[in-house]
Amino acid sequence: MSRLLHKLVVLFTLMALIGGCSTTMPPEAVLAVPAAPQKYASIVVDARTGKQLFEMNSTSPRYPASLTKMMTLYMLFEALTAGRVEKDAEIPVSAYAASRPPSKLGLRPGERIDVDTAIRALTVKSANDVAAAVGEYLADSEQAFAAAMTARARQLGMRDTTFRNASGLPDEGQFTTARDMAVLGIALRNRFPQYYHYFSASDFMFRGKLVRGHNDMLGRVHGVDGIKTGYVRASGFNIVTSYSADGRRYIVVVMGANTARERNAHAESLLERALAASSDKTRVVFQESR
């Protein structure tokens, strides 16, 4: 099959899946859909009921990239809730953690970072050096922490996820699915509502400097209150987006986009269709997966 024909097949398949909408899909939103099936996956879930509204490749293995840090934060929130860790506790930074490649805060070996700042660095900056430090702090090593992350994922119902590190840096053995990321996104809000506000931050102050985040959906799309973006070359651009407004709650996951703008446009388009579906019960906006 030629490359052009392959792209057309993917495009028409998507249009068929989300046909019958109560609103007309803008052409630019269609073109924003990634045409690389080995990377693309998406899902929309009603976070109140757990009902799946739309999916494409949602159970196919994908690289999570920095979406991995959602589970790192889950483990840290769990430790805080259990009283094993305090928010003002100081996390030591090892030479290994400091050596992690960007995105990072640029911490040096021997430095310490308090838990509250570490959480902000993970949610906003997606700092890989901080993720490794948190993993080492909560377990004997990042490897041991990744095994604990995987075990907790299984308990949450994330049946197709394996973690190999705390950051999401490239590892062929680290994979997940769009479905599993939706499960995790819902679990983070339901289990730790007292900490969920961290995912809504678009920036934070660190040592007198303003550190800006990567999630452009925040503040741009009404009702979006988090939660995490991610990118490595092997994964493409990923996002888990949470919407909560007017008594409605949705989780939208898009994985494998070619650019951040494309990813955001597609996530927003899927969210708009979910909102349209809840407003017009006589129309079928999404097709259930089989």
Q: For residue 289, what pLDDT is reported?
A: 38
As a whole number, the mean pLDDT across the chain is 87
Rounded CA separation 194/253 (Å): 23
Region 186-206: mean pLDDT is 97
- Whether the model pTM is above 0.75: yes
Q: For residue 140, what pLDDT is reported?
A: 87
According to CATH, the topology of domain 22-279 is Beta-lactamase (3.40.710)
Residue 82 one-letter amino acid: A
Q: Which of 42, 66, 244, 269 is catalytic?
A: 66
Q: For residue 30, what pLDDT is reported?
A: 38
Residue 276 class from Cβ within 10 Å (0-12 exposed, 13-18 middle, 19+ buried)?
A: middle
Q: Which of 69, 104, 125, 228 is catalytic?
A: 69
**What would the pLDDT profile of 240-278 be if each residue is shown by its tens digit?**
999 999 999 999 999 999 999 999 999 999 999 999 987
Chain CA centroid to CA 204, Å: 19
Q: Which of 60, 94, 126, 244 is catalytic?
A: 126
From its phi and psi, is residue 99 left (phi > 0), alpha (psi between -120 and 50) or beta? alpha
Residue 279 annotated as catalytic: no
Residue 126 annotated as catalytic: yes
Q: For residue 149, what pLDDT is reported?
A: 98
pLDDT band at 33 (very low <50, low <70, confident <90, very high): low
Residues 6+ apart with CB under 8 A from 188: 70, 73, 74, 77, 196, 199, 227
Residue 66 annotated as catalytic: yes
Q: For residue 287, what pLDDT is reported?
A: 41
**What would the pLDDT profile of 39-98 be if each residue is shown by its tens digit?**
999 999 999 999 999 999 999 999 999 999 999 999 999 999 999 999 999 999 999 999
**What would the pLDDT profile of 157-187 be if each residue is shown by its tens digit?**
999 999 999 999 999 999 999 999 999 999 9
